[in-house]
Each structure stands twice: as structure tokens, then as C-alpha cells.
Amino acid sequence: MHYLDTSALIKNVEEPGSEIIDEIYRDAYKGVERLSFSYWNIAEAAVVLDKYERKLGLDARKLLRDMLKESSTLSKLRRLIVVSVSPLILRASSKLVPKHHIYVADALQVASAKSINSCTFVTGDEELVRVAEAEVEYTLCRRKLSEIEGHQAVWKEQERGRAKVLGLAPHTRSVDLPRGNR
């Protein structure tokens, strides 16, 4: 199961790194992968899409409607789990804030992924990559992704655990990547 933070979820809108997210969604529709994100991501996505509308002239309402429709479809197909912002998640998040000196919204992403034992954490935030590496355990496999639109996907692995984190970062080098059940 892939946990998508808001930066990864928004990559569903065409921008660098979108092709990786498209591949993850295709795998979900094929029934070979599952996706997850938090209800919090939907609210954050609305804010980001509103900024896209103001800066780029995109139709934020249509983009959000399309995202919600696709999420509903994947949920009905049992290919998407949307994590509630529960008191348990909030408590876990509040412990991560002072430990890693991060915003509570970022801590909520990590706590949500941990709560459902997600096998992959996908983010475009380099700091969140670092925190997820330290906090979330995953299963390992290997593959290599090539450069995408001048950007490359970078997977980070930790020797001590079973961490698998996909960071969608610009101008980074390609590394061997873990893969889920694909």
C-alpha cells in the first residue's frame, strides 16, 4: 500500500513527478496496489489547488471534484483507504512534532501512514522523507526509476529497519529503488 502525502497527491495534476503518481494510480486500478492518504490531505489539496487557480489559472473546483471522484471510485474498488484524523492519530502526531521539529501537518502524514502499516510513503517534501525514514517501517524490494521531466524519483532506504520512502525531488540522482508487489 502506498501512502501519499498532499505533495504526492497533488502530483496527480500535471507537473514534474506526475508520471510516478500516474503509475501508482494505474497499479491501483489494475488491482495490484492500494493507495492511502488522510482526510487531512483532501483539505490541504483544496488549498494547493486554490493557489494553482490563482497563479496558473487552473479550475480548482473542477480539479478537486475530479480528485474526489477518482478517490471515491478507488474507494469503491477497495483500492483506497482514507485515514481518519482521529484522537489517536493526533496524539501520535503531537509526539512527532518535538521529536523531529516538524509541523503538525507533516507529523500527521507520518502518523497516518504508520497507523495503517503502509508499505510505501510517497512525498515531495525532503524533510518529510527524512522523518518518514526514521519513523516508518516498510518491506524492501528493488528497482530503478529513470529521470522524469528533469526530475528523478529518489527512494531512500535504511539498513537498520525496513524503511521505504519515495521522495519526488528535483535534480537528484537516480538510485536503486524498492518496489511493492508490482
Q: pLDDT, tens digit, for every residue of 26-74?
A: 889 999 888 999 999 999 999 988 988 898 888 889 888 888 999 999 9
Asked if pLDDT for residue 2 goes beyond 50, the answer is yes
* Distance from C-alpha of 107 to C-alpha of 173, rounded to nearest angstrom: 27
Identify whether 18 is part of a domain: yes
Q: Confirm whether 182 is domain-assigned.
A: no
What amino acid occupies position 129?
V
48, three cell numbers: 494547493
Instruction: Confirm whether 13 is domain-assigned.
Output: yes
pLDDT for res 22: 83
pLDDT at site 11:
66
pLDDT digits (tens, 9 = 90+) for 69-78: 999 999 999 9
Number of domains in the chain: 1
Question: Residue 98: which CATH number?
Answer: 3.40.50.1010
Residue 146 maps to a domain = yes
Exposed e or buried b per residue across 61-93, where buried means at least 16 C-beta atoms within 10 angstroms of its C-beta = eebbeebeeebeebeeeebbbbbeeeeebeebb
pLDDT of 10 reads: 79
**Residue ranges making up the domain that contains 24:** 2-177
**Mean pLDDT of the region 78-105:** 94
Q: Is residue 33 domain-resident? A: yes
How high is the pLDDT of residue 17?
60
Mean pLDDT computed over every residue of the chain? 74
Tell me if the pTM is above 0.75. Answer: no
